[in-house]
């Protein structure tokens, strides 16, 4: 039930596991930057950052246990930002 | 038969929805700055490359670990309170504030070092260099500065939560204030997760 899910208390070991995952991804992102991947560097680091952000949102911010409406709402600011930044780049590249 | 009448009605869904809506405005506030960063990086990629090399990875990496750990203690403090472990929750809330403080102390040393080297807004040292480097350091100070203010505000909020936990206004039956404070603290962490690679790592 939706109501029961909201009352869920995450186990300590789950939180600690997420934290360990976040530290591992931090080590990975530093490693990725050291490799000097050039153009790929930005993509690789942003991908790792987004994985870390997703872990924080899903477990620490309890998005996993929230109602669907909230999860869908989160897509609104993400989509807005993507559109704004995307369209601006079309302007810069093809002006 | 009147069992439910004794249970105070609490609209946690509404309270959390309101908090998330506020967090969305925060995302767009920083989003505007991320837009500026990405455009200037595209236009002045060489200058950004040189300027980013000035920032040491070590303090940035330490601060990332500090902030990630503070998110863990914050999440654990809410779980502890909900299980009725009030003292454990208070200790974890205090730990979160101390980690926030450690983050800001590191930031202080970091900024002092930049200023010592002559890199601060409109410094002669910086103005003598490329236009893109001026923009890089401008964005660096504005974005990490606004982020730092958010850390400070978060520490203030958690201090209030500690007082509320002590007086019982925040308890295992009524934890939404602490939960929403946690949401704010985690969002500040999420923003740092992006700031760290963009300013310290990608050169």
Taking alpha carbons only, the member of B132, B140, B122 closest to residue B60 is B140
Per-residue pLDDT of A44-92, as tens digits, reads 999 999 999 999 999 999 999 998 999 999 999 999 999 999 999 999 9
Residues of chain B short of pLDDT 70, as ranges, are 1-9
| Confidence at residue A37, expressed as pLDDT on a 0 to 100 scale | 79
Backbone angles phi, psi at B130, to 5 degrees: -60, 155
Is residue B184, in this structure, part of any structural domain at all? yes
Is residue B71, in this structure, part of any structural domain at all? yes
Instruction: Determine, for residues B71 and A6 on separate chains, whether the beta-carbon distance falls below 8 Å.
Output: no
Instruction: Determine, for residues A53 and B190 on separate chains, whether the beta-carbon distance falls below 8 Å.
Output: yes
Is residue B93, in this structure, part of any structural domain at all? yes
pLDDT band of residue A9 (cuts 50, 70, 90) is confident
CB B110 within 8 A of CB B203: no
| Domains: count for chain A | 1
Residue A3 above 50 pLDDT? no
Instruction: Determine, for residues A70 and B38 on separate chains, whether the beta-carbon distance falls below 8 Å.
Output: no
B18 touches A at CB < 8 Å: no
- For A15, nearest residue in chain B (alpha carbons): B72
CA distance B202 to chain A (A): 6
Is residue B192, in this structure, part of any structural domain at all? yes
**Which CATH number covers residue B164?**
1.20.120.80
- For B66, nearest residue in chain A (alpha carbons): A23
- Taking the C-alpha atoms of residue B108 and residue B98, their distance in angstroms, rounded to an integer, is 15
| Confidence at residue B56, expressed as pLDDT on a 0 to 100 scale | 83
Which structural domain, as residue segments, surrounds residue B88? 27-201
The SS3 assignment for A51 reads helix
Taking alpha carbons only, the member of B8, B60, B13, B19 closest to residue B157 is B19
| Domains: count for chain B | 1
Q: What is the mean pLDDT of residues A11-30?
A: 96
- Token look-up 């700031």 returns B195
CA distance B9 to chain A (A): 14
Q: How many CB atoms lie within 10 A of CB B78?
A: 25
Is residue B6, in this structure, part of any structural domain at all? no
Instruction: Determine, for residues B75 and A57 on separate chains, whether the beta-carbon distance falls below 8 Å.
Output: no
| Confidence at residue A95, expressed as pLDDT on a 0 to 100 scale | 81
| Confidence at residue B9, expressed as pLDDT on a 0 to 100 scale | 60
Taking alpha carbons only, the member of B32, B193, B146 closest to residue A22 is B193
CB B201 within 8 A of CB B72: no
Is residue B1, in this structure, part of any structural domain at all? no
Instruction: Determine, for residues A42 and B202 on separate chains, whether the beta-carbon distance falls below 8 Å.
Output: yes
| Confidence at residue B83, expressed as pLDDT on a 0 to 100 scale | 94
| Confidence at residue B38, expressed as pLDDT on a 0 to 100 scale | 94
Is residue B15, in this structure, part of any structural domain at all? no
- Taking the C-alpha atoms of residue B136 and residue A91, their distance in angstroms, rounded to an integer, is 21
| Confidence at residue B172, expressed as pLDDT on a 0 to 100 scale | 92
Is residue B133, in this structure, part of any structural domain at all? yes
Give alpha helix (H) positions in chain B. Answer: 3-6, 12-43, 45-52, 57-82, 86-116, 124-127, 131-167, 176-196
- Give the mutation candidate from B183, B197, B203 for the A interface (greatest A CB count, under 10 A): B197
Which structural domain, as residue segments, surrounds residue A76? 2-94
Instruction: Determine, for residues B39 and A57 on separate chains, whether the beta-carbon distance falls below 8 Å.
Output: no
- Taking the C-alpha atoms of residue B5 and residue B7, their distance in angstroms, rounded to an integer, is 6
């Amino acid at each position: 039930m939706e109501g029961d899910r909201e009352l869920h208390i995450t186990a300590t070991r789950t939180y600690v596991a997420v934290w360990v995952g976040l530290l591992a991804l931090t080590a990975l992102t530093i490693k990725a930057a050291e490799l000097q991947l050039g153009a790929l560097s930005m993509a690789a680091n942003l991908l790792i950052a987004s994985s870390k952000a997703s872990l924080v949102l899903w477990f620490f911010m309890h998005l996993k246990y929230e109602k669907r409406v909230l999860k869908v709402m989160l897509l609104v600011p993400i989509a807005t930002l993507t559109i704004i930044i995307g369209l601006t780049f079309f302007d810069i590249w093809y002006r | 038969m009147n069992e439910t009448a004794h249970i105070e009605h609490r609209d946690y869904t509404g309270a959390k929805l309101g908090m998330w809506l506020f967090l969305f405005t925060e995302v767009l506030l920083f989003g505007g700055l991320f837009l500026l960063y990405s455009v200037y990086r595209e236009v002045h990629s060489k200058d950004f490359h040189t300027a980013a090399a000035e920032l040491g990875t070590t303090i940035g990496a330490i601060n990332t670990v500090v902030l990630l750990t503070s998110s863990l203690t914050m999440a654990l403090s809410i779980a502890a309170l909900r299980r009725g472990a009030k003292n454990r929750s208070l200790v974890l809330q205090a730990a979160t504030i101390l980690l926030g403080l450690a983050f800001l102390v590191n930031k202080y040393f970091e900024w002092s070092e930049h200023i010592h080297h002559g890199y601060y807004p409109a410094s002669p040292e910086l103005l003598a260099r490329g236009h893109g480097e001026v923009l890089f350091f401008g964005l660096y100070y504005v974005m990490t500065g606004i982020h730092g203010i958010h850390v400070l505000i978060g520490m203030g909020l958690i201090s209030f939560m500690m007082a509320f936990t002590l007086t019982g206004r925040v308890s295992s039956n009524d934890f939404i204030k602490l939960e929403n404070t946690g949401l704010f603290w985690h969002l500040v962490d999420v923003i740092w997760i992006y700031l760290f690679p963009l300013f310290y790592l990608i050169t």
